[in-house]
Structure 1
Amino acid sequence: MRTLAAVATLIALTSPAFAHFQEILPSEDVLPDGGKVTVDLVFTHPMERGPTMDMAKPVRVGVVTEKGVEDLSSSLNEAPIDGKQAWRLERAIAEPGAQVLFVEPKPYWEPAENKYIVHYAKVVVDGYASGEGWDRLVGLPVEIAPLVRPTGLWTGNLFRGLVLKDGQPVPGAEIEVEWVNDGSVTPPNEAFITQVIKADDMGVFSYAMPRAGWWGFAALIDGPEAQSPDGTPAATELGALIWVKTTDMGSSK
């Protein structure tokens, strides 16, 4: 029995902790004729297609346009997935220009890692294919500033971003990258699930996206020390996330 318990403990300690990603995914990244966009907010493991975690109602959901910041929290509707809480909103885009949609979630307690996870996520939707305003910052505590327009990207394009904390670059920041798996890809092994890259001394990173679809970039930064639900010391993981979509040449989707 002791041997079996030791083996179980060893497996638990050596098993990788797969990456959590706060999704904020619109139905389209570019609306050439304007119209409505549906935005899904799910806390999950994109490449593995789950499991989905319960996502409490966000602290704040909003959008940044040339007019400033607008709170969209009242537009949220419950949209459970596999019995887990998730959220959805619809937004009408009637003017040209980038809509920088963002979410500030409530901290998520992950007992397996003894830490709280707070992922500030954003995505850009381009109204009327304007190509304008895509580099507007939300002003989140941690944020990725895109250095490449994050809309209208072809598969294989190189995406570059600048990792910021409190508005300042984060040299050497670690960035996890995952693709939202539509079921067409089975990773050969666990090493292929989450790609990991590091920012340079200026906080800048780059990654070439090899497949069409949605890609999430999560810069992970240590947050303040916290207390676990049982009162013992715990860590806080702050995530700066941005989502970008790639499209195959010759494809209309």
Structure 2
Amino acid sequence: MPSKAVRIVALTSLPLLALAAIPAQAHFLEILPDADVLPEGGVVTLDLTFTHPFEGGPVMQLDRPAAVGVVAGGVASDLSSALTEAPQGDAMAWQLQADLPEPGAAVFWVTPQPYWEPAEGKMIVHHAKVVVDSWASGEGWDQMIGLPVEIRPLTRPTGLWAGNLFYGVVMKGNAPLPFAEIEVEWVNDGSLSAPNDAFVTQVITADANGTFSYAMPFAGWWGFAALTEADAPMTAPTGEQVPVEEGALIWVHTTAPGQ
């Protein structure tokens, strides 16, 4: 039988063990269009939400983005004036529409206001983008925006089947970022329950050249978030200087045969 001292230590350790067992939730900035391919061009609607995709929430407050735009046909356009409020419950989300009358890929992107994460003691800034192919052209999908950190797709991110392999390169500035960590989540349509928390966020690491790949088993939207620390800290709401988690996100859609 353990001594009283051992029993006391074991009991007082339980709250610490319980806290350690609570997984950190991955934050994803969604920028999701109502279609990844427009067979005859036209208007696309995009929803901008800060949330946990696999778990279906909770949706977190997304202040008006610092910047939002699109690059199509080599021309960059500011879409800030197209943003409209689209709150979800008590949290603010956003929506925008854009007309794509010409053939070619349009790369939509958003940079949010910095988000304070007190549980991790850092600010979070995730630059997110998504490709919409007008007239199913298959052209221009690898156009880069020039964000501080960004994923360069090596696989065309439109017109993909469930089960396809997605390749990308994590870029920081003008150079690949070796051994970057990439978090991957699927936007759960409610049809799947994770066996345990380890299945919610998939984690992969880029190689020495910043290249990564992932096979997407289900139909729907997949988010790839490459995470790194920014070169400079920021001032937190507490007044202290804290590190900044800078992320590069790309959203990729897959379709099941027969859909």
Aligned residue pair count: 250
Q: Map 1:1-253 onto structure 2 (within 5 A).
A: 7-223=14-230, 224-251=232-259
Q: Distance in 1 between matches of 2:21 and 2:244?
A: 21
Q: 1:36 Cα shift? A: 1.0
CA shift, 1:227, in A, is 2.8
SS in 1 for 2:40: coil
Superposition TM-score, scaled by structure 1 size: 0.95
CA distance, structure 1, for counterparts of residue 114 and residue 10 of structure 2? 37
**Which protein shows a greater Rg?**
2
Q: Tell me the CA shift for residue 249 of structure 1.
A: 1.3
The percentage of counterpart residues that share the same residue type is 60
Q: Which amino acid aligns with 2:247?
A: G
With normalisation by structure 2, the TM-score equals 0.93
Match of 2:4 in 1: none
> 1:63-104 deviations in whole A, cap 9, x for unaligned?
001141100000000001122000000111101000000001
SS in 1 for 2:212: strand
Task: Give the drift of 1:4.
Answer: 8.1
- Where 1:24 maps in the other structure, the secondary structure is strand
CA distance in 2, matches of 1:103, 1:5: 46
AA of the residue aligned to 1:39: L
Structure 1 CA distance for aligned equivalents of residues 235 and 54 of structure 2: 30
Report the more deviating stretch, 14-23 or 71-80: 14-23
Over the residues paired in the alignment, what is the CA RMSD in angstroms? 1.5
Q: 1:4 to 1:61 in 2, by over 3 A?
A: farther
Stretches of structure 1 lacking an aligned partner (at least 5 in a row): none
Call closer, same or farther: CA 1:46–1:159 in 2, change over 3 Å. same
Q: What is the Cα deviation at residue 229 of structure 1?
A: 1.5
Q: CA deviation at 1:9?
A: 4.3
Return the offset for 1:121.
0.2
Instruction: Give me the whole-angstrom Cα distance separating, in 1, the residues matched to 2:221 and 2:255.
Output: 9
The SS at the match of 1:89 is strand
